[in-house]
Structure 1
Amino acid sequence: RGVCRDALCVCRTGAYGSACERDCPGGYGNPCSGNGTCSSAGLCTCNSGYFGTACESACPGGATTPCNFAGECQLTGSCACYSDATNGYYTGNACASCAPEYAGASCNVSCPASRGRVNSRRCICLTGFVGDDCSLSCPMDAAGLFCANHGTCSLPAGALRTPTCACDTNYFGTACSVYCVASQCQANGLYRAQCNPTTGACECRASSLGQWTGSTCSDCIAGYWGDECSYPCLCSSRGTCTRNGGVCQCYQGAATGFWGGSDCSVCATGYTGVGCNIVNVALNAASSDLMTFKTTAVQRIVLLVVSDFALRATLVQDSANLSFFRVLRPSAVGITTVVGNLTLPAAPVRGAVYNVTHYRFVSASGLRMFYPRGVVAALVTTALPLKGLTRRHHTLAACNDTAVADMTIAGDACTVMASGCGLDAYLECDATSSTINSSAAVMSSVVFAAANSDGTLVVLVGDAAASATPNWVVVVWSALLDATVYTAINADTDTQGAPLACALAANVTVCAVYVPNVGLRLARFSYIDVNDNSTRTFAHLVSLSAAPTVTALVASVDANVGIIGFHTTVAAGSLMYLFQASTLVLLGSVASLASTLLSAASIDNNFRLLFLVLDGQLSTAFRTLNLFGVRSVYPSVVDFNGGATITVRGIAFPTNTTATPIWCNVSNSIVPATVFNDAHLECATIAVTVSSGACAVEPLSLFVSGDFAGRSTQRDGVVGLLRPVPAQLTSAVTIDGYDGYGSYEQATYVTLTGFGFVSSAAARCVLQNSSSANASSPSAETIIYETSDVVFVGASSVRCFQPAGLPVSSTPTVFRYSHDGVYFGQSTTSFQIVGPTKALIVEVDATTVVAAAVSTLPTIRAYTTDAYGNRRLMLEDFNYSIRCSSLEP
C-alpha cells in the first residue's frame, strides 16, 4: 500500500498512516468518493460542488452549478448566498431566488415595496412609477394624483429618460391636469381656437383648417388670407397680404428690405441690391440724348469706344457702319455734342491713342490704321487720308499671334500679343517688343491687359493653364526689374471661372466673375502687389441663374465709382449697376436701360460725367449722366423751423468748390454746402414757409453752380427730409406710473404724451429748468439732463431714457422734445427729479368744528418731501406713525 524510501512510507492513493495501514474516507478503493483529494493526515479536500467527510454529497444546486453560482458552498453543505452590489442579492437554500425587494437577471436591481413588487425577477411597478427599478416617479397634479388619473405614464426610449404622461382625450399638460375643449375656448371669446397640444391653454387655431392670430383669434397670421385664413399669400415671403383678395403688401424696412411688384419679387422704387435694402443712387441726365437713326435694323452688343482724355473727346463706332466713328465732346455743363467724325478703310476691333499726334486702330486681320488727333482738336468734320498703313506678317512659323488688347504707355500705343506658337505673351510697342516672362506657363488665354501710365508694370488677367479647376490668374510684369509675379485669384470653389471683363483704375483692377447658379460677382485687387491677400475684395452684385454678357465695365479711382453693364438676353436689354471702386459696395442700378443694350461706357473725372452708348435696332442713343448723386441724409427729420445741419452722403461730389460750388436744395430753399470730400458734404437748414407735415418726404437735391452751370441731382428718389412742426407735450409718466416725477436714484423710461411725434433717429429729450424753457436750444447751465435714447411709440407718444444719479430738482423743471436734436419746441410738460425723504408734512384746512355728539373734522393730509419740497408720493418706501387729536397737543 506504499513504497519505503529512506525509511519512510510513501502511501498509494487511498491509504495513509506511518505504515499506510489506514484507509482514506470513502475506502481505499474510492478515496474521498472520487470527488476530492485525501491528505497525508487522512482528510478529504473536496472538489467544487461537493461536501462531506468523504466528499460524498453534492452541494445545493447540483455539483455542476453549486449554489447556482450565486453563493459559496460551505463545508457543512449550506450555501452562503451573495449579498452585494457587485455579485447581486440572493436568497434560498441553493441561492436560486433574489433576495426580498431585489430583481433582475443578476438580482442587483432594487425594487422597494413602496414602488413595486418582484415577479419572476422583474420589478412590476406600482401606479405612478416607471423604470427598470421603478425609481422614476410619474408627473403628479396638485392633488398628488399621477397623470391626474387622466393619462398613462410611460418611459420613452432615449438617453434622456424622463417619465411622461400620455393624456386622455381633451386632457393636457405635463400631468394631464388641464381639461380643454375648443368649444370652451370659443365660449371665452376666441373666434377660431384650439387647445395647445402641450399645455392645453386656449390659443388661436394654426392648422390646415386655418392660420389665425390676434387677441380674439379673428385675424389671419401674416402670410395667409381668406375667410378662414387658409390661403397662403403669394408674396414671395417678402410681405403680407390683405384678408380679402390676398393683395400683397410688401415689406418696407431696412431689416426686411424694400420690396415691390404684385408678388413682392422686385425692389421697390428707389432701392436696389440682393436684399433690396440699398438706397439707389439715382443719376439724372446732364442733357438730352444725342440720337442717330439707322436705315437698316441692326444692333451691336459691343461697340468700340476710344477715350481721348487729353482732348476731352470720345470716339464712338457706328453700329450700322463699323468703319465710321463719331467724335463726341461733353462740356462742363453736361451737354454732349458731335464735333467731328472719321472714316477708316476697314472696321477696327481695337483702338487707342497712339501718341501725341495720332490714334491707332487695328482690324481683325491685323491691319494697322493711323489717324491724326489734330483733326479732333480742331473740331473739324472730315475724312482725311491716313498718315500711314502697316501690316504685320508671320512667315517663319505655322502659327498666328493674337492681339489681346491695346494700351498707351508714355505716349506710345502698345499691344499685348498672345502667341499661337506656345511662347510667352509679349508687349509690342511700335517696332519694339518685350516678352512678358512666364506668362504662358500659368495662363492659357488672356482676357484683359492694361498697364500703368509709364509702362513699368503690365497686368494680364486670364484663364489658368493646366489647372485642375477652372481658376483664373493675374500676371504682373515689371519692365524695370524684368520680373513677373502671378497668383490664382480664385482658389476657392465659389469664384471659379475666367473673368467676364476687367477694368483698370490707377493701380486697382476690377473684374466681373460669374458664379454658376449664384450670380455676378465683382473682384478687386491691387496689381502693384497682386499676391497680397489683404488687398483683394469680393462682392456679390446680383443673383443670376445664367452667365450674363458684360458689355461695359469702367472704374474711376478719382470719383471712387465703377459702372458695369450686362445682359442675359438681348431681348431683355441691359442692366447697369454702380459700385464704389474702393470697396465694391453696391451704390445703385439704372433701370431705365432695360429697354435697350448698353454697348459702351466711359467716365469723365473732371466734369463728373458718365457717358453711355445705348444701341437699339433702329437708333443709337448717346446719353450723358451726371456722375454725382445722393445716397443718404442725416438727420432725415428736420424741424419745420430749421437750424439743424444735415450730413449728406453720396458719390462723386465735385470737390473744387471754387470752380464748382455746391448748394443743397432743401424744402425748395437753396443753401450753400460745405464739401469735405467726394462722398461727404453738409448743409444748414432754414425755416420753411409752408410745412408739408410729417407724412410727405420732401426730396433733397444738390445744385452745382460755377463751371457746371446749374447741373443738379434728381429729386424723385427716396432720399429726402420730413419737415414736421414741433410736437406738443401734455404729460410725462415713468414706466412705473409716476406722473410728473421720478426718482433721483433709479434709471427708468419716461413716456412723453401729446401729438405730432414722428419717428426720428436724431430725436432728443431734455429736462431743464422751467424758467428758461422759451429758447429754441436749451443752454447747458439750464439742463438737468438730455438724452438721444428716444423710442418712437406713435404719433401721440415717445419714450425717453432717464439715467440714475441725477441731481434733485431744486426748482420747477420741465421736459422738452426735439425732432432733430437741435430745435426744441416751446411746448413743455412738468417733471420733477425727487430726492430722498427729508421732511414729514401735515396739512389741515382751517375750519370751524361745531360741538356735537359726533362732529366732522377737516381733512388731514400727511406726506413726505425731499430737501427741496418735492413730494415723494409713490416713491415713499417707509411707514410712519401719526397721532391725530382734536385737542391742542
Structure 2
Amino acid sequence: MPTLGHTSKLGATTMKALSAQTLDITLRSLPSVGCENDYWGPHCSNRCQCQNGAKCNPITGACVCTDGYQGWRCEEPCEHGYYGKLCQLPCQCLNGATCNHETGECICAPGYSGAFCGERCPSGSHGPQCEQRCPCQNGGTCHHITGDCSCRTGWTGSVCAQPCPLGKYGSNCSKDCSCRNGGVCDHITGQCQCAAGFSGRRCQDDCPVGTFGPQCNQRCECQNGAKCHHINGACLCETGFKGPNCQERFCPPGLYGLICDKYCPCNSTNTVSCHPLSGECSCSAGWTGLYCNETCPPGYFGEGCMLPCSCTNGADCHTVTGACICAPGFMAGFGKEDVGIHRPAVISSLGKDQNRGGWQGVDCSILCSSGTWGLGCNQTCLCGNGAACDPMDGICTCSPGWRGEHCHESCPDGTYGLECRERCDCTHADGCDPVSGYCRCYPGWTGQYCVL
C-alpha cells in the first residue's frame, strides 16, 4: 500500500486546490505517521505553526482550525457577525450585541438582555448585563442604557428627589404657579393652597363673610353687626359697641346716643335692646314695628319677624317659636323634645326630630289618620259599613249600598249604589243587590234582568 512521503508527492497543485473543508476530511482519513504533537514532516522535525488550539497535518503541516478561528495559522478570530466551524455560521444577536466567535453566544450591549439581546433591561435596572440598579426616586424611571432618570410630574433633580422649586409645577417643572396672596401651588397639580384668610381657585378672594383662618373653616363670633378680619378673626365693632366680640353696648341698658343721654323709645317688654348710637329697636321674637309694639304678620315669626313660617294646609304659625297650629283635619307630632305650644296639634317648625306614637311631619302636611278627624285629629269617626269620614268636619261618605248620617241604613228596596241614587232594573226578581245592583232572580229566571 503506497504511503505519502511529503508534500511534493501529493502534487503542489492538488494541495492548493483543496478547500479547508476538503483538506480537513482528507487529513482525518490519513493514517497516522506517529509524529508527536506540534511536529510534522517525514522525520517529524518540523514544528507546527498553528495557533489557538489548532492541530497541524503530520504530513503537510497544514493547520486545522478549531471553532471560531480562521487563517493559515488559525491566528484570526471569525469576522464580526460570524462564528463556529470555519466561521460560516451567522450570529443571531440584536441591538448592537456581539457574539462569541467560538460558540455564537450573544454578549449584550449595555441596556439589553435575553438570549439574543432583544429585550431591554427590566424596570429598575440598567447598564451592562442589566446589573446596575436605577437610582430614581418618587416614581421616576431610568434609561435602560445610561441610567439617567426621567422624573414624574412635579419632581426634579438627577434622581428625582426634589419637588419642583417654589412657583413651579408640572412635567419637568415647566409650568408657572398662578396663586396669589401668599398661596403656594401643589408641585404636581398646580392647585393652589391658600394662605389663611383667602379662598378661590387662585386665592384671589378674602374668606366669605362670617368665616376666617386657614381654608376659611373657622366661624366668626362677632356680634351686633360687627365684621371679623378674614385672616385672624378679630372683630371690627360697629360704633356704639365694644368687647372682644362686640357684645357690649357702650351705653347702659335703656340709653343711647354719643354721650348715652337719650332713652330708648322701644316697648321695653317686647324689645331685646336699642342701638347704642341710633336708638333703633331690636325686637324680641314675635314682635316688629318701629318700637316693637306690633305682632308678626301672618306667615312670619321670630326676632323681628324675619323668619318665614313653613306650615301648610292653612295652619297658623306661632309668632315666637314658629310652631305650626294645624287646621282641623291635619296633624303633626311631637319629637324627642317638646317644643312650641304643648297641644297635640302644635309642633315646632324649627327642624327638630318630630316623631312620637307613629305621628310624623312638622308642618301640618299629614291628614288625620283613618278613623279620626277635627282639630288635633282628636275626634273619633262614627261612620259605619266601611264609610270614610272627612278629616276636617267628620262628615261620613257612605260606601255603595248605604245611607244615613253615619251610613248605618241600607238602601231602600229598588235602589242601589252610591247614596242609593241608582234604580234597580229587574223584572222577575226579589229586588237587587244594594251595592252592585245585580238582580236577585226568582227561581226559574235568569239573566242580567231576570227575563230569561
Confirm or deny a common fold (TM above 0.5): no
Q: TM-score range by the shorter chain?
A: 0.3 to 0.5
Q: Which has the higher strand share?
A: 1
Q: Compute the TM-score of the two structures, normalised by the length of structure 1.
A: 0.19
Q: Compute the TM-score of the two structures, normalised by the length of structure 2.
A: 0.33
Q: Could you say which structure has the larger radius of gyration?
A: 2
Bigger relative CO (Cα 8 Å, ≥ 6 apart):
1
